[in-house]
Structure 1
Amino acid sequence: MQHFPIFLALSERSVIVSGGGEAALAKLRLLMKSEASITVFAATPAEDIVRLSVEGRLVLVRRALRAGDIKGAALFYAADEDAAEDARTAAIARAEGALVNIVDNLEDSQFITPAIVDRDPVTVAIGTEGAAPVLARAIKADLEARLPATLGPLARIGKAFRKMAEALPHGRARRDFWADYYFDAGPRAIARGGDAIDQALDDLLQRHLDREAAPGHVAFVGAGPGDPELLTLKARKALDAADVVIYDRLVSTEILELARREAVMIDAGKEAYGPSTPQEQINLAITTHAKDGHQVVRLKSGDATVFGRLDEEIEACEEAGVSWHVVPGITAASAAVAGIGQSLTRRGRNASVRFLTGHDMKGFAEQDWADLTRPGAVAAIYMGKRAARFVQGRLLIHGADRATPVTFVENASRVDQRVVASTLGTMADDLAAADLQGPALTFLGLAPRAARTALADHTNSLQKELA
């Protein structure tokens, strides 16, 4: 993030604009929505700027800006539409302590003005680091269509009522009250008009004061393979409501960013052959926070029901008398197989698929390896990088074809996804050469579609030559 987004208080503060043409007017239209004291320096100002001056909405100085004009100003806009003059006035502004924006010159500007959706006092600012102004305008238009005109009045009324709402306990009780106000009682009251709004707020507050505090609860949420767009709507709602989020090591940063800023975030990561949070400690954290009355999200990579120790954590909740529910997610095998253009099952090839975990070597040793050597057999191995040579050896001992396709998919569904196509005979060496650093899923019996198509074409070519 090159530009840090903030909302700057400009009440009774000075903002200076140098320039009298269209570029200056464009900035003034936005600045005049604020409570700033605006001064424009322009030797030949446009008629609209003169009119604004006559109306008392800004101070117009009919000359070029010079040293001493900017002292004490918070912001300065260089809008003369002349590179040399903008550089001259910007240098003065920097020397006199104002933050500088040069119109259409991102590199030399100290701040940028974002696209604005105005539902005063609700303001949405949209920035693209200056890289895509057309995109910013499109987002602005979309938000303006979605956000009702009543949003501003609702916010102003809510602000005046905020002291009264302090009668409610901090945290979820107040959030529930304001959610009811903004998305239910408030809009209905505004539609009725008159004294209905004040009465609706009084009635709503009384209902929430009389309401018993909701007990703590645990949502076991599948975060999916990493792409935030693959997060389910139900999972997103759970994150929005969470007071505490206890997350696994493989949950992506983009998904963690979706949790409320006020939520307590607890890293409960486990790493094979590395530092791990003991399961007993995780169970205790889940149940303790829930018994304290918090909404807890136990956020697990992929699907919570696949190699996620879900049963142990549910049993801990039941022993502690804590309610819970499960929100399924997209498991890594589904995301990875989509990434190579294949399906886990295919008519005429395999009617079943085996899910294995390389994290449990004892479980590996107990597998029916002979069954996996059948033509068309498919298996998905989670956390299997370190077990690659073991898997290779077991299958070869049981008579598997060395040409059996094997595919490794690292960081499935993410922007840095990598696919390594291999065979059973070379899988361990190919994996070592690829040096995969992220979480990887291993497919036995599946090749990427492009590789499979190329192999089929080569086979057909050989058959034609032999014929």
Structure 2
Amino acid sequence: MDHFPIFVALAGRRVILSGGGGAALAKLRLLLKTTAHITVFSDDAAPEIKTWHANGKLRLIERPIEAGDAMCAVLAYAADEDDALDARTADLARADGAMVNIVDNLGDSQFITPAIVDRDPVTIAIGTEGAAPVLARAIKADLEERLPTSLGTLARIGKGFRTLANALPMGRARRDFWRDYYFRTGPAVVQDGEDAVQTTLKTTLQDHLARKSRVAHVSFVGAGPGDPELLTLKARKAIDEADVIIHDRLVAPEILELARREAEIVDAGKEGFGPSMAQETINALIAEHTQNGAQVVRLKSGDPTIFGRLDEEIETCEAHGLSYSIVPGITAASAAVAAIGQSFTRRGRNGSVRFLTGHDMRGFADHDWANLAQTGSVAAVYMGKKAARFVQGRLLMHGADRLTPVTLIENASRADQRIIPATLETLADVTAVSGPAVIFIGLAPREAADTLAEMPQEEFA
């Protein structure tokens, strides 16, 4: 991020602009929405600028900008659409202490003006750091359609009520009140006028003042395989409402970005055969953070019910009398099998699939290798990179075909996803990858599978 987004207080402050053509008009139409004192320098100003001057909306000085003209200005716009004139304006304004924007010159500007969705006092700024203005305008148009015009009315009335709302305890109690007002009680009456909104706001506050403190709750939430678009709506809602998020190592940063800025984010990462937070410590963190009605999200990659040590953490909740819920997620194997264009089950080939872990607390995990070695068996091996040679040896020992198709999918669903086809014979040679990986035994990518002999397609009974 090269440009840090902020909102600058312009009420009663000076903003200057040099220019009188199309670029100047575009900036002024936006600036006139503010309560800044605007001064325009131009010896050839457009008629609209002269009209705004005549109506007292801005001050027009019909000459080029000079030294000292930007004194006490907080912002300065160079909009003459001439490189030499704009550079001169920028030098003079900087010398007077103003921050400068040169229209269509990102490199020499100290700030940029974003695309804006205006629901005063709600303002949404959209910036692309100059990389894609067309994209910014498209996002603006989409938000304009989605956000009702009444949103500004609700926000303006709510702004005047903030002091009264301070009667509620800081934190979740206040957030719950404002969420209730903005998304339920307020919109229901806004069409009836401001008096109705004011009355509803007072009633909503009294209702929340009478409520008991919210009971602490733990949500075990599946973050999915990594792609934020694969996060369920229920998971996203839980993340948004969380006071504390205790997350696994493999949870994607883009998903953690969905948390509120006020939420406490706790890294409880584990790594097979590597640095890890002990499960007992994680259990203690869950108990520790469920204080004063805190809503805790235990955020696990994939699905929390699959190799997620879920039972041990539920037992912690039960031991401390904590309520809990489970929000399922898309497990890595589901994303990985979709990536290779295959199905876990297929008529005439297999009517079941096994999810295996490559290692457990004692080391490499043992399984029913004789059954897994049979032709047509399909298994998804989690945490199997370091156990690959062990798995390979056990299957071959129990009679598995050396040419059994094997596929390793690294970083399933993410932008850096890799699909590595192999066979059981070469399995141990393809596991030198750095990211999390799922290994499929008995499945090849569809393109590779199409080159194999067609398997019988008998109907299951």
Which residue number in structure 1 is paired with residue 322 of structure 2?
A: 322
SS across alignment from 1:426:
helix
SS across alignment from 1:431:
coil
Q: Cα distance, 1:13 vs. partner?
A: 1.7
Task: Output the CA distance in 1 between the equivalents of 2:388 and 2:197.
Answer: 66
Which residue number in structure 2 is paired with residue 186 of structure 1?
A: 186
Deviations 1:404-441 (A, max 9, x none): 11111111101111111111111212323xxx111111
Which residue number in structure 1 is paired with residue 84 of structure 2?
A: 84
Which residue number in structure 2 is paired with residue 43 of structure 1?
A: 43
State the aligned residue count. 454
| Aligned-partner residue type, residue 106 of structure 1 | L
Task: Output the CA distance in 2 between the equivalents of 1:288 and 1:67.
Answer: 61
Q: Quick check: which one's helix share is greater?
A: 1
Which residue number in structure 1 is paired with residue 307 of structure 2?
A: 307
Q: Which runs of 4+ in 1 moved over 4 A?
A: 361-365
Which residue number in structure 2 is paired with residue 463 of structure 1?
A: none
Which residue number in structure 2 is paired with residue 464 of structure 1?
A: none
Q: Cα distance, 1:344 vs. partner?
A: 1.2
Which residue number in structure 2 is paired with residue 281 of structure 1?
A: 281
SS across alignment from 1:63:
coil
Which residue number in structure 2 is paired with residue 390 of structure 1?
A: 390
Q: Cα distance, 1:201 vs. partner?
A: 1.9
TM-score by length of 1: 0.94
Contact 2:407-2:421 within 8 A present in 1 as well: yes
- Decide whether aligned partners of structure 1 residues 362 and 398 sit closer, same or farther in structure 2, where only a CA change above 3 A counts: farther
The alignment status of 1:399 with 2:399, answered yes or no, reads: yes
Alignment map for 1:363-442 (pairs within 5 Å): 364-432=364-432, 436-442=433-439
Alignment map for 1:108-127 (pairs within 5 Å): 108-127=108-127
Task: Output the CA distance in 1 between the equivalents of 2:223 and 2:39.
Answer: 52
Deviations 1:376-403 (A, max 9, x none): 1111111111111111111122222111
Which residue number in structure 2 is paired with residue 332 of structure 1?
A: 332
Task: Output the CA distance in 2 between the equivalents of 1:30 and 1:173.
Answer: 37
Deviations 1:130-169 (A, max 9, x none): 2222221121111111111111111111111111111111
- Decide whether aligned partners of structure 1 residues 150 and 194 sit closer, same or farther in structure 2, where only a CA change above 3 A counts: closer
Task: Output the CA distance in 1 between the equivalents of 2:298 and 2:131.
Answer: 37
Q: Cα distance, 1:194 vs. partner?
A: 5.7
Which residue number in structure 2 is paired with residue 238 of structure 1?
A: 238
Which residue number in structure 2 is paired with residue 465 of structure 1?
A: none
- Decide whether aligned partners of structure 1 residues 130 and 53 sit closer, same or farther in structure 2, where only a CA change above 3 A counts: same
Which residue number in structure 1 is paired with residue 96 of structure 2?
A: 96
Q: Cα distance, 1:291 vs. partner?
A: 4.5
Contact 1:356-1:364 within 8 A present in 2 as well: no
SS across alignment from 2:420:
strand
Task: Output the CA distance in 2 between the equivalents of 1:224 and 1:256.
Answer: 12
| Aligned-partner residue type, residue 48 of structure 2 | D
| Aligned-partner residue type, residue 445 of structure 1 | G
SS across alignment from 1:116:
strand
Which residue number in structure 2 is paired with residue 162 of structure 1?
A: 162
Which residue number in structure 2 is paired with residue 446 of structure 1?
A: 443
SS across alignment from 2:280:
helix
Task: Output the CA distance in 2 between the equivalents of 1:329 and 1:237.
Answer: 13
SS across alignment from 2:24:
helix
Contact 2:407-2:440 within 8 A present in 1 as well: yes
Contact 2:336-2:409 within 8 A present in 1 as well: yes
Deviations 1:27-50 (A, max 9, x none): 000011112111111111110001
Greater Cα shift, 399-408 or 40-49: 399-408
Q: Unaligned 5+ residue runs, structure 2?
A: 455-461
Contact 1:216-1:289 within 8 A present in 2 as well: no
The alignment status of 1:216 with 2:221, answered yes or no, reads: no
Which residue number in structure 2 is paired with residue 269 of structure 1?
A: 269
Q: Cα distance, 1:94 vs. partner?
A: 2.7
Q: Cα distance, 1:214 vs. partner?
A: 1.7
Q: Unaligned 5+ residue runs, structure 1?
A: 461-467
Which residue number in structure 2 is paired with residue 176 of structure 1?
A: 176
Q: Cα distance, 1:363 vs. partner?
A: 7.7
Question: Identity of counterpart residues, as a percentage?
Answer: 68
TM-score by length of 2: 0.95
Contact 2:74-2:98 within 8 A present in 1 as well: yes
